[in-house]
Chains A and B, each alone.
With several copies, the nearest count.
Chain A
C-alpha cells in the first residue's frame, strides 16, 4: 500500500488530502498518471509542471521509484518563512 498526500491549493482543487493505492509499483510519474486515469478531473491540477513531489518526506524528481509502504506527497511551490 502506498500513501499519497496532497497539500494546500492542490488539496483544495482535488477535494481530498489523502488517498491510498494498493499494489502499485512504478515511478512517481506513473503513480500520478494512475491517479489521473482514476480521476480525470485531477489531471489539470496534478500534472501541472509547478507541482512538487516528495517521497518519504524528501523532495525528489518524478522518476523516483515507489514501493509498498512509501509515502508520496504532491504540493504547490512552498510559501513559508
Chain B
C-alpha cells in the first residue's frame, strides 16, 4: 500500500470537504483531482427508502480496496488515492462512499476514479439492506439486489 493511499471503513458519517482538503494538501505537482461521492437515495426499485444498513466483511473489505487501488496505480500515474466507505446504519442523503484521486493528468484522474468505483461495486464485500415503505404503509426491510449493469461496466477495463 502506497503512503499516498488512504482507505477508511467507518460507521460514522465522513466529511467530503475534509477529504478534499486532505487530497490537496501539499499535492502541488498534481493539477487534477477527480472525485466521486455516492449517497443514500430516497428511492430504489419503486419504493421510498427511509434507511439503509451496510454489512461488510471486516478484513477482506480493506484488503479488497487496497488491491483495487494497487491495480489502479499500475495502470495510471496517480498521486493520492483516498477511498472512504460507510458501514452500519445510514439515513437518506448521507454519503456512503467517497473516491478521490489526484494526478498530474486529468484523464488519468478521471479514469482511475471511475475504475476504482466500478471494481468496488462488483468486488468489495459490502451488502446493502434498505428499509422501504411498503404499499400498505408499513415499513419493510430488504436486501438490495446486485445489478447486472455493474458487472457489464467492468468490461471496459478488460
19 A-B pairs whose Cβ atoms sit less than 8 Å apart in the complex: A7-B55, A7-B127, A8-B143, A9-B127, A54-B125, A57-B57, A58-B60, A59-B64, A73-B60, A75-B57, A76-B146, A77-B122, A78-B121, A78-B122, A78-B126, A80-B127, A81-B96, A81-B117, A81-B124
Dominant SS at the B interface? mixed
Inter-chain CA distance A78–B128, complex, in Å, is 8
> What total of chain A residues lie within 8 Å of the partner, measured CB to CB?
16
Asked if B112 lies at the interface with its beta carbon under 8 angstroms from chain A, I say: no
Asked if B56 lies at the interface with its beta carbon under 8 angstroms from chain A, I say: yes
> What total of chain B residues lie within 8 Å of the partner, measured CB to CB?
29
Of chain A, the residue at the smallest CB distance from B121 is: A81
Within 8 A of A (CB), among B84-127: 85, 96-97, 106, 117, 120-127
Asked if A79 lies at the interface with its beta carbon under 8 angstroms from chain B, I say: yes
Residue from B38, B96, B127, B128 having most chain A Cβ neighbours under 10 A? B127
Inter-chain CA distance A79–B55, complex, in Å, is 10
A-B contact count (CB 8 A): 73
Which of the residues B60, B63, B126, B143 comes within 8 Å of A81, measured between beta carbons? B126
Inter-chain CA distance A5–B143, complex, in Å, is 18
CB B56 to nearest CB in A, in angstroms, measures: 7
CB A74 to nearest CB in B, in angstroms, measures: 11
Inter-chain CA distance A9–B144, complex, in Å, is 9
Are A5 and B57 in contact, CB atoms less than 8 angstroms apart? yes
Asked if B46 lies at the interface with its beta carbon under 8 angstroms from chain A, I say: no
CB A59 to nearest CB in B, in angstroms, measures: 6
Write out the residue numbers on chain A whose beta carbons fall within 8 Å of the beta carbon of B127: 7-9, 75-76, 78-80
Which of the residues B57, B85, B121, B128 comes within 8 Å of A73, measured between beta carbons? B57
Write out the residue numbers on chain A whose beta carbons fall within 8 Å of the beta carbon of B143: 8-9, 76, 79
Within 8 A of B (CB), among A15-53: none
* Chain B 56-93 interface 0/1 with A at a Cβ cutoff of 8 Å (1 = within): 11011001100100000000000000000100000000
Inter-chain CA distance A54–B97, complex, in Å, is 23
Inter-chain CA distance A79–B117, complex, in Å, is 12
Given A7-B55, A9-B143: A80 and B60 interface contact (C-beta under 8 Å): no
Asked if B135 lies at the interface with its beta carbon under 8 angstroms from chain A, I say: no
Given contacts A57-B59, A59-B64, A79-B144, 7 further A-B contacts (CB under 8 A): A7-B125, A8-B127, A9-B143, A57-B57, A57-B60, A77-B146, A80-B56
